[in-house]
Chain A
Amino acid sequence: MNRLRRTGLALLGPVLAILVALVVSGIVIALIGEDPFGALRVVADLGDTPSQQTQSIVVILNRAVPLFLAGLAVSIAFRMGLFNIGVEGQYRLATILAAAVGAAVTLPGPLHVLLIVVVAMVVGALWAGIVGVLKVTRGVSEVISSIMLNFVALGTASFLLTGPLRGSAEGQSIVTTETIPESGWFPSLNGLLTGLGLAEPRSELYGFLLVAAVVGILLSVLLKRTRFGFDLRATGLSPSAARASGVDASGMVVKTMLLSGAVAGLIGLPELLGEAHEFGTEFTAGLGFLGIAVALLGRNSPLGIAVAALLFAFLDRAALPLQFADIPSSVVTIIQGTIVLAVVIANEIARRLALRSAERAGSSAAAPPPDGNGGGGGDSPTGDGPDGGRRAATPVAGEQQGAQA
Chain B
Amino acid sequence: MPPGDRATAGVPAGSGADDGAAEPLAVELRGITKRFPGVVANKDIELRVRRGEVHAIVGENGAGKSTLMKTLYGMHRPDEGQVLLHGREVHFRSPADAIDAGIGMVHQHFMLADNFTVLENVVLGSEPTKGGRLDRAEARRRILDISDRYALDLDPDELVEDLGVGDRQRVEIAKVLYRGATTLILDEPTAVLVPQEVDELFGNLAELKREGLTVLFISHKLDEVRRVADSITVIRRGTTVGTADPRTTTSRELAEMMVGAELPTPETRTSTVRDAPVLQLSGVTVADAGGRALVDDVTLTVREGEVVGIAGVEGNGQAELVEAIMGLRPLVAGTVSLGGEDVTAWSTRRRREAGVGYIPEDRHRQGMLLDAPLWENRILGHQTRPPAVKGWFLDRRGARADTGRIMREYDVRAPGPDTLAVALSGGNQQKLIVGREMSASPRLLIAAHPTRGVDVGAQAVIWELLKDARAEGLGIVLVSADLDELIGLSDTLHVMLRGALVATVDPSRVTPEELGGYMTGARTTAGAA
Residues of chain A touching chain B, judged by Cβ–Cβ distance below 8 Å, are: 2, 224-231, 233-234, 237-238, 240-248, 355-356, 358-368, 373-383, 385-405
Contact = CB atoms under 8 A, between A and B. Distances in A.
A131 B38 CA distance: 48
Given A237-B371, A248-B349, A373-B237, A366 B111 contact: no
B38 to A, nearest CB: 4
Interface stretch (B131-139, B204-212, B334-342, B387-395): B387-395
B517 interface: no
A378 B369 contact: no
Given A227-B384, A360-B37, A361-B423, A378 B62 contact: yes
Contacts of B176: 403
30 contacts: A224-B394, A227-B393, A227-B394, A237-B369, A241-B365, A243-B328, A360-B37, A360-B38, A360-B39, A361-B423, A364-B38, A365-B414, A365-B423, A366-B428, A375-B237, A378-B42, A378-B63, A378-B67, A378-B238, A381-B39, A382-B70, A385-B66, A387-B65, A389-B453, A393-B362, A395-B110, A398-B113, A403-B175, A403-B176, A404-B99
Contacts of A400: 111, 113, 124-125
B47 interface: no
Contacts of B126: 404
B394 A390 contact: no
B105 interface: yes
B36 A360 contact: yes
B172 interface: yes
Contacts of A398: 112-114
Contact of B352 (A246, A386, A396): A246
A38 B337 CA distance: 75
Interface string B86-127: 000000001110010000111111111110000000001110
Interface residues of B, number: 103
B419 interface: yes
Contacts of A363: 36, 38-39, 423, 425
B141 to A, nearest CB: 20
B36 A381 contact: yes
B349 A382 contact: no
A74 to B, nearest CB: 20
B41 A402 contact: no
Contacts of B237: 368, 373, 375-376, 378
Contacts of A392: 108-109, 188, 191-192, 314, 452-453, 481
B105 A403 contact: yes
A389 B36 contact: no
A380 to B, nearest CB: 4
A340 B110 CA distance: 38
Nearest to B414: A365
B94 A395 contact: no
Given A226-B392, A380-B425, 6 more contacts: A243-B348, A244-B366, A247-B383, A373-B239, A390-B109, A404-B124
Nearest to A240: B365
Nearest to A354: B420
Contacts of B65: 379, 387
A245 B380 contact: yes
B426 A403 contact: no
A240 B420 CA distance: 18
Contacts of B350: 246
Contacts of B113: 398, 400
B424 interface: yes
B4 interface: no
Contact of B43 (A247, A248, A368, A374): A374
Contacts of B125: 400, 403-405
